[in-house]
Amino acid sequence: MQVCLLKSKIHRASITDGNLKYEGSLTIAADVIEKCGLIAYERILCSNMANGNRFETYAIPGDPGSGQIVLNGAAAFQGKRGDVLTIMSFAHVPKHRIVKERGI
């Protein structure tokens, strides 16, 4: 049996911009992607703390050190500059591995 667990989380990320003309996705500064353990083009779940919207998209790397959090394409309708997001990714892990490593 597999269990879906939180793998990576960026808490309280402020949206810096939106780009309706891009295909889709969420641009995140490359250094932030690396620090939190995300992988470029990984599926993510976003929760907007300002309006309660939750949406799925994928992460693309932006300029390192820029602090970019940019909603692209259809995702740009889910928030505006200054809104605060929680960005999450999940992993499917065999239950026996969780029991062994965490003693659950």
Based on the residue annotation, tell me whether 25 is a catalytic residue of this protein: yes
List all residues 6 or more positions away from 98 whose beta carbon is below 8 Å from its beta carbon: 3, 5, 104
What is the pairing mode between strands 84-94 and 2-14? antiparallel
Active-site entry in 8, 14, 41, 58: 58
Active-site entry in 8, 14, 22, 25: 25
Based on the residue annotation, tell me whether 58 is a catalytic residue of this protein: yes
Which residues are identified as catalytic?
A: 25, 58
